[in-house]
Amino acid sequence: MKNILFVASECVPFVKTGGLADVVGSLPKNLDKKKYDTRVILPQYECMKEKYKERLKSVCYFQMDNRIYVGINSLVEDGITYYFVDNKQYFCGAKPYFDLFSDLERFAYFSKAVLSALPLIGFRPDIIHAHDWQAALVPVYLNTVFQGDPFFRGIRTIMTIHNIRFQGCWNVGHLRWVTGLPSECFQPGKLVSPYQDTSMPWDEWNATMLRGGIVYSDWVTTVSESYAGEIQTPAFSDGLDDILKWRKDRLMGIVNGIDCEVWNPKTDPHIKKNYDTRNFWNGKKENKIELQKRYGLPENGDVYTLAIVSRLTDQKGLDLIDGIMDELARKDINLIVLGSGDERYENMFRYYSRKYPDKIACRIGYDEELSHLIYAGCDAFLVPSAFEPCGLTQLIALRYGSLPIVHEIGGLKDTVKPYNQYEGSGTGFSFKGYSSSELLDRINHSEWLYRDNNTEWKAMAKRAMKEDWSWTNSSKKYEELYDSLC
Ligand code: ADP
Ligand code: GLC
């Protein structure tokens, strides 16, 4: 039996702001339980649902470095043990993340607290699997500050990059102060880029937590093969291509899966009409009408319906949508949006839904249940992202027979097969150049197919629903990686 510890800042069902939480919530359950004892450790946010907080049992508590309180609590859910790092001062508030400046200190504390707690919780991991910048200091602390203690020697580490845009970056002076890491960590080639302008004072150099995670871990993974290639180029690496190229023999892309129990149109309790490949056409229509009702749109099961469920940020290609809104509204279609994020995009969708109340409708906010109805009730699902490490929404859309229209990039390229009318193949529509006109062209094509070649559309929707995007294949790849490490 191998012991694996996932370290992350979010995890379904406890706290979620994006796909990271879905992956950390579902991958451990899909690893072979006979071979791996996989546990997860998270911050104990005050904003976590009450029903989970009530079930927490205390494991231990201590003063880290003789001055900062660390409590470790745990609960078991669905056969997985979850640990929570408790410090009310750091993890209070209505959401998991705040401004970067304070987040740096909170997650540096979290990473160090995780390691400090290990000798006390009765679980010594063979492998620590750290996710994103919030956990990236775990491999750094482990291979520096904690190396003196025999308990930690031989523990292997994997750093998974879910989104390289977020790195935990500040100047050396501040990061030295919040992390307490030795100065060797802040030399060029470690947390600091080798191309640093060394004429500047050392304290003002840029240091990056994620870079540290990449340098100090045994393996680096990311969430699709295409993204693993893209982040080795300056256009997609946000300044980390040098280190990723240097580590390319220890870098691998493994595409995410989805939890096919949660995302199953046949059994989904949050949708109006359950369906499978045999009755999806009528099933989806019923869901569409329910969706139109909830969004205050005219009820019509035949209107071609596009949807977006997304964080509303630059990453998601919403500037392309902005460029075609008036054009879209001239068509006989619906565009249904659920999302929250940047004010610019929230206001953009508010504006257009007021301008075209019979066609475009948005709900600004986060609503897990409503998202299920959207995946079930729409015909096509838009993901025109500028970059997309993996993307889960297009995978969910496929499972619900809603055809994705995507930019051919990152995980979108690896998971959506473009429609080919000559071969009668494909599971969606994709465009290569990042432009509004290419997006509009694909939407027009999809609309034509839906209306004028409905048999082809239905065949494609069935193909999409039959694809296997569960964790079955990808969890095997993680298992092989774990086995190669110890
Ligand atoms: P990212 O992690 O970049 O946000 P992903 O596609 O990997 O993108 O994952 C997004 C996840 O968050 C999906 O499970 C999606 O359904 C969910 N989601 C995004 N926005 C909302 C929202 N406003 N309400 C409900 N679920 C949302
Ligand atoms: C990130 C990425 C997204 C990916 C998710 C889970 O948030 O933006 O593409 O699916 O992590 O790995």
**pLDDT tens digits for range 240-260:** 999 999 999 999 999 999 999
Give the number of other CB atoms < 10 A from CB of residue 94.
8
CATH superfamily of 2-257+472-485: Glycogen Phosphorylase B; (3.40.50.2000)
pLDDT tens digits, 318-368: 999 999 999 999 999 999 999 999 999 999 999 999 999 999 999 999 999
Q: What pairing do the DSSP bridges indicate for beta strands 169-171 and 206-208? A: antiparallel
Residue limits of CATH 3.40.50.2000 in the chain: 2-257+472-485, 280-466
Q: What pairing do the DSSP bridges indicate for beta strands 360-364 and 380-383? A: unpaired
pLDDT band at 70 (very low <50, low <70, confident <90, very high): very high
CA of 15 relative to ligand 1 center, distance in Å: 13
CA of 308 relative to ligand 1 center, distance in Å: 10
CB of 407 closer than 6 angstroms to any ligand 2 atom? no
How far does CA 205 lie from the centroid of its chain? 30
CA of 339 relative to ligand 1 center, distance in Å: 8
HSE of 102 in the Cβ direction (CA atoms, 13 Å)? 9
| Closest ligand 2 atom to Cα of 388 | 9
Q: What whole-number distance in Å separates Cα of residue 306 and Cα of residue 329?
A: 12
Q: What pairing do the DSSP bridges indicate for beta strands 80-86 and 68-77? A: antiparallel
Query: Helix (H) and strand (E) counts for the chain?
Result: 19, 17
| pLDDT score of 134 | 98
**Tokens 């791996």 sit on residue:** 36
| pLDDT of 1 above 90 | yes
| Closest ligand 1 atom to Cα of 371 | 25
> Which residue of 9, 17, 20, 22 sits with most ligand 1 atoms within 8 Å of its CB, as the best mutation to test the pocket?
22
> Which residue of 160, 270, 393, 394 sits with most ligand 1 atoms within 8 Å of its CB, as the best mutation to test the pocket?
393
CB of 367 closer than 6 angstroms to any ligand 1 atom? yes
Could you say which ligand is closest to the alpha carbon of residue 12? 1
pLDDT band at 475 (very low <50, low <70, confident <90, very high): very high
CA of 16 relative to ligand 1 center, distance in Å: 9
CA of 320 relative to ligand 1 center, distance in Å: 19
| Mean pLDDT calculated for residue range 92-105 | 96
CB of 23 closer than 6 angstroms to any ligand 2 atom? yes
pLDDT tens digits, 371-413: 999 999 999 999 999 999 999 999 999 999 999 999 999 999 9
Q: What whole-number distance in Å separates Cα of residue 125 and Cα of residue 122?
A: 10
> Which residue of 223, 226, 236 sits with most ligand 2 atoms within 8 Å of its CB, as the best mutation to test the pocket?
223
CB of 313 closer than 6 angstroms to any ligand 1 atom? no
CA of 298 relative to ligand 1 center, distance in Å: 27
Q: What whole-number distance in Å separates Cα of residue 385 and Cα of residue 408?
A: 9
Tokens of 353: 């839904």
Diameter of the chain measured on Cα atoms:
72
> Which residue of 161, 390, 474 sits with most ligand 2 atoms within 8 Å of its CB, as the best mutation to test the pocket?
390
Residue of 268, 304, 448, 293 lying closest to 382 (CA atoms): 304
| pLDDT score of 6 | 99
Q: What is the DSSP letter of 473?
A: H
Q: Please say whether the beta carbons of 55 and 75 come within 8 A.
A: yes
| pLDDT score of 329 | 97
Q: What pairing do the DSSP bridges indicate for beta strands 360-364 and 333-341? A: parallel
pLDDT tens digits, 152-180: 999 999 999 999 999 999 999 999 999 99
CB of 301 closer than 6 angstroms to any ligand 2 atom? no
Could you say which ligand is closest to the alpha carbon of residue 256? 2
| pLDDT of 198 above 90 | no
How many residues belong to the chain? 486
Read off the amino acid at residue 471.
Answer: W
CA of 338 relative to ligand 1 center, distance in Å: 10
Quickly list DSSP for 202-251: GGGSEEEHHHHHHHHSSEEEES-HHHHHHTTSHHHHTT-HHHHHHTGGGE
Q: Is residue 19 classed as helix, strand or coil in its secondary structure?
A: helix
| Mean pLDDT calculated for residue range 265-279 | 98
Q: Please say whether the beta carbons of 171 and 206 come within 8 A.
A: yes
280-466 is classed in which CATH architecture?
3-Layer(aba) Sandwich (3.40)
Q: Is residue 355 classed as helix, strand or coil in its secondary structure?
A: helix
H-helix or E-strand containing 41?
Answer: strand 36-43
HSE of 446 in the Cβ direction (CA atoms, 13 Å)? 31
CB of 339 closer than 6 angstroms to any ligand 1 atom? yes
**Angle formed by the axes of helices 172-179 and 100-117, to 10°?**
40
| Closest ligand 1 atom to Cα of 392 | 6
CB of 256 closer than 6 angstroms to any ligand 2 atom? yes
